[in-house]
Structure 1
Amino acid sequence: MESDYSTFMDSAMAMGWSRISNMPLNELNAWIEDPSQMDAFIQELPQVKTLLSEKEMLIAQNRNAAEFNLNLGNPSLADAKESVLKAYEEAKKWKLQFEEKLASLSNLPDSAAEQRSLETTHALLQAAAAEAEDESDRTAQELLNGNISANDFVEAYRPKRVLAHMRKIKCEKLAELLATSDMVQHHRSNP
């Protein structure tokens, strides 16, 4: 590549020198007074024109490749963004439902029976969350083992992960409620 460039430059220099050596002195003096004339002379050399045209072609090719790469990645990025937004909206919906149910639970009078019921519910919810987590892990393992296609994996895995996350969040919120309830009961019994 460098030898091609050297050959190319040698050819350009030889052509330039041959044309300059045949120029009258007054034209050379005009170049000294106005360097833009020398620039124009250089730009008119066939080798320079070839280089400039190759440069423009490479720029256009790079621009096309960049646009292609952006467009190639863009649909999957848009799909992923849409998927995240849907999951976020669903999580907000579940959170609202949970908060409503939590509010209705907190409006109920505290009693030992209700406390045990909440603890039982918490234990069951923990088990259900672990089961949902295991189910999503099994689906991921099936993909890794090659038992299911990527499309089937996406369709099966996403709802399982959402369910596992929702159960985990509900479990954590219920644990907070139980901890708060325990503190209130402890405070009531020890004034």
Structure 2
Amino acid sequence: MYPGQQARPPIPAKPSALSNTSHTPLPTIPSTFQELETRTASELAVLLNDEVEYDTFFNSLSCVQTMKQVRDDLRTKNEEVAKRGLSKESELELLQREIMSRHRVISEKKAILEGKLQKQQEIMKQFSTASMINNLEVAAGEAERSSDRTAEQFLNGTIDQKTFIQNFMQERKLFHLRSAKKESLMMSR
């Protein structure tokens, strides 16, 4: 330490937010360097002026060697993780293809389901109260028109009395039955 220079406290190592497997602790940076305190002023001047001498001295420091070792260990571990990741690449591609295939199957089944649901809605609409009332009204109207045609045929002399009575009674009965059912449904709404 130089005269007038204050000692720095060691900087604690921070855990990596990206690492989820293991944590490699970093060595602490010392607040003083014993190797510098034992040197004379002329030796320190040589270190400051001679870059090769400085690099040699710097690389001989135990904290620097520890940091280099940590760096090399991390590099090796990263390489191992990368190799493991690359070794699983074919498995990942297979799983992606399987997901795509299942997605297609699900899409097809969803389309079939939607078609069936739509068909169900149409069928349900046929049996709704409003639809049934409308259908009964149309059917009652057809039965009434049919009985009117039978009456005209009798008046024109195209059918005999027995046929007229039989057909007219059946058609009027059907008309009144459908009308009664329509009225009943309208009251139950």
> TM-score, normalising length from structure 2?
0.36
Higher Cα Rg, which structure: 2
More helix by share: 1
> TM-score, normalising length from structure 1?
0.35
